[in-house]
Structure 1
Amino acid sequence: MAMSHQRIAQNAEALKKNLEYGTELIAWLDQQKVEYAYVGPGEHNVWNIRIHLPKDLRQVFGVEREVLVVATKFENVQPRLLNHVADGLKPPSVESDMCILVGNNLNPDQWADEEKGLGFNLIPVNRSELQSGTAPGMAAVLAGHLARVDHFAFVRPLNNKAAFFGRSQDIQRIKALLTQGQHVGVFGLKKAGKSSLVNRIALELREAGWSIIQIDLQREGTAADNLRRLLLQRTLDEADRARFVGSRIAGSQAVDAVSQSRSAWVDQLDYALALHRNAEGVLIVIDEIDLLLPGRTFEAATTSEAQLATIGVLQQLRGLTDDLHNNRARKSPVLLTAGTDADLFGSSFIEERPNPLWAMVDFHYLGPLDLAETSDMVRTLGRRSGLNFTEGSVIHQLFDDYGGHPLVTRTACSSIHRRVKAEQVPYSVSTQDVVRVAKRPGPKTAPQLARDIPQQFMALFPDEAPLLRPLLEGGTELINPDDAPYAVEYGVLTEDGRLRLGILRRG
């Protein structure tokens, strides 16, 4: 139910009395000719205001719904404040990707990276400027922030739904397999979005009542003892988090003791998994799984034998899950892994030894985004960054140049954003902007990243490299896609056998 004008006026008066700069804040908003939809107190000395921008600003910035304004006494943006903002952006009547944050000496550089990962703009207005009468107008506040924050320039794995785009078919297929009790391995090129995808699936399953145990081998190491410790400790921690038990099951000393013995570890892990009997399911996520292949890590203490020992830990885990799968009274955990090279599960031999993990997972190859997904990503991130990609020809040009590969496409758009000044925001992107970026030389540019994609692929799949080289060197424009199936799966080739990235076809 909408808040009445009388209630809004009453709450605005209460805000003026209870917030040190409340009078100045309401006066500033009135000067911007906004319409109030809601005014009310929140937790932690925070006030929430929802406003409609005046018609001219709505048209300029493409903002039709209510804009959330959060007024706080905090000087630093704390996690609880970010959670408060995220909750305030959930109602369908509210713009989901922007919040005006009013507070003391706010420094947006402190939260810039986190802001991109959260998927919304946190636009600062400082209390001191309100009280001194020097606060800029709403148009300048919005334009200045959008020009400064480049939402395309974010390369870490995503953990927030609002920052994630596309992959609906991938998500549906993988979730269906996991629900059926099938282990799944997600494989694709570097920066294709594998980690973000498994994070998204883990988040959705957790919301559905699953227990989630997550491990990142790149960040946490590949040593066998460490993997045993992490699997056991996080299974216990997750049981505590979900309150499946009344008290702590095992402290760090107990984990240290049982991790010294393989049999004790398996028995203890079996016991820890039994604590999750009230969960809808148990998912074990292991990212960067191909680091377990001999020769794939630079850890000083790691040798082929050490990596094979860690593969032995997964062999034990496989045996345990198989036993539990055949026990109707127990829930068997399922494994979701991500990596670039599928050989850990696809090769029958590793280091001339039979591979105990062969055919353990269902393979899911992650290619680029399709045109609709690319359009959604570019237009949404563009809107958050002050760029308008309204012309369909611009989206088609980006898709033809970079084939829907997320990192390369975002890098191209980021290059456009860096050339835009605050007074140009919102900036309408043209095909000339895209062409200019495609001609830009240098490392870490979109053209260079595009050229790296087939090189990275050929290093992973040397058997298909001889087929790709004539395409890259201009000797031919088309090959039989059946001869290079992985190049199609990984998004290097189109389904009809052409180079997927148009920028490579044009040299």
Structure 2
Amino acid sequence: MGTIHEKAALHFRWRVGERDVLVPFLANFDVTYAERKTYRGSELSFMFLQPERTIQDQFGITSEVLLVISDYNSVQPRTMQAIEEALQDTPAKGRVDQTTFFFVTKNEGSKEWVENYSALNPQSRVPIVLTLKEVLSGRADPWFIRQQMSDQLYSRDLFNEQLPLINDLFFFGRDQIVAEFLNSSKLSQNRGLFGLRKTGKTSILFKLRRIDEQVRGLLAKDLRGKSVASLADPYFTLQQAVLDGLFVGFQLEIERFA
């Protein structure tokens, strides 16, 4: 049986009803942190859950997991944006698992809403959505939370991304390639990236572009919209697109020839 740490317990002096919400979670987690915060105009309760060994072994989750409790009767995009900001803010950043979180809400249609939201935002984190009603009814079932994790985490394939990765959330395993490109850039060396379709080439370029936002001197240009087959001189068009990217990216003046 999990425990509520002393500092976290202070939160429940003012939020007594949320103590009942924690009951099914305490079968597999300790509560290490609890606080009421406001992001994007949404006031929510944020808690950190430390998984016990059974959860670590079954789901491979070793870091603390965020639990968010909402009092609102509806779920809106700003709610998910508020959770995103909380995950990137202190003390969650660098402490809790960044790929998933628990979300408890009064809204009975929340699961369908979040499912649609995730479909429109495929590179977002994986929420484990629970209605307040089912959480309260599951207090006597020590397997309730574990079953919900199995049903909702395994229903989405994190490796089935059809579009290039536009953020760092699921970008991993390619740090060496990125480091090689950065080193070549510092040495003013040309470097090409070749591979089959859907193997992550564009994701790497997007990663380099994100680095460019922090370190100037590197420019990543996306030329996927160029249709080579329909061009009279594809080489010249590609060359012109690269030059345009260089001059615009580094804010240089360019003299065009007819």
The normalised TM-score by structure 1 is 0.40
- Kindly report which structure 2 residues correspond to 1:20-419, keeping only aligned pairs within 5 A, or say none: 22-30=18-26, 32=27, 34-43=29-38, 44-72=42-70, 73=72, 75-78=75-78, 80-84=81-85, 86-87=87-88, 91-103=93-105, 104=107, 105-107=109-111, 108-113=114-119, 117-118=123-124, 120-130=125-135, 133=137, 137-182=144-189, 184-206=191-213, 208=214, 210=215, 280-281=216-217, 283-288=219-224, 291-293=226-228, 295=229, 303-304=231-232, 310-311=237-238, 313-314=240-241, 317=244, 320=247
Per-residue displacement from partner, 1:51-82 (whole Å, max 9, x unpaired)? 12344333333333322111223513445235
Unaligned residue ranges in structure 1 (runs of 5+): 211-279, 298-302, 325-330, 334-355, 357-507
Distance 1:110 1:47 in 2: 24
Q: Secondary structure at the match of 2:165?
A: coil
SS at match of 2:110: coil
Percentage of matched positions with identical amino acids: 16
Q: Give the letter for the 1:168 counterpart.
A: D
In the TM superposition, residue 145 of structure 1 has moved relative to its aligned partner by 0.8
- Alignment gaps of 5+ in structure 2: none
Q: Is the alpha carbon distance of 1:5 and 1:188 closer, same or farther for their aligned partners in structure 2, counting shifts above 3 Å?
A: closer
Return closer, same or farther for 1:185/1:292 CA change in 2, 3 Å cut-off: farther
2:21, 2:37 → 1: CA distance? Answer: 17
Structure of greater Rg: 1
CA contact (8 A) 1:115 1:121 kept: no
What is the aligned-residue RMSD (CA, Å)?
3.5
Cα deviation, residue 123, structure 1: 0.9
SS at match of 2:162: coil
- Provide the C-alpha distance between the structure 2 equivalents of 1:24 and 1:167, rounded to a whole number of angstroms: 44
Structure richer in helix, relative to its length: 1
Q: For 1:287, what is the secondary structure of its paired residue?
A: coil
User: Structure 1's 176 and 51: CA in aligned 2 closer, same or farther, altered over 3 A?
Assistant: same
CA 1:175/1:282 → structure 2, altered by over 3 Å: closer, same or farther?
Answer: closer
Matched residues in 2 for 1:319 and 1:91: separation? 35
User: In 1, Cα distance between the equivalents of 2:211 and 2:239?
Assistant: 30
In the other structure, the counterpart of 1:10 is: 10
Shift of 1:138: 1.0
Q: Distance in 1 between matches of 2:120 and 2:217?
A: 30
The Cα offsets for residues 79-110 of structure 1, whole Å up to 9 and x where unpaired, read as 52352254269544423332111223322422
In 1, Cα distance between the equivalents of 2:208 and 2:246? 24
Task: Label 1:148 to 1:115 Cα distance change in 2 as closer, same or farther (>3 A).
Answer: farther
Normalising by structure 2, we get a TM-score of 0.73
Instruction: Determine helix, strand or coil for the equivalent of 2:123.
Output: helix
CA contact (8 A) 1:65 1:94 kept: yes
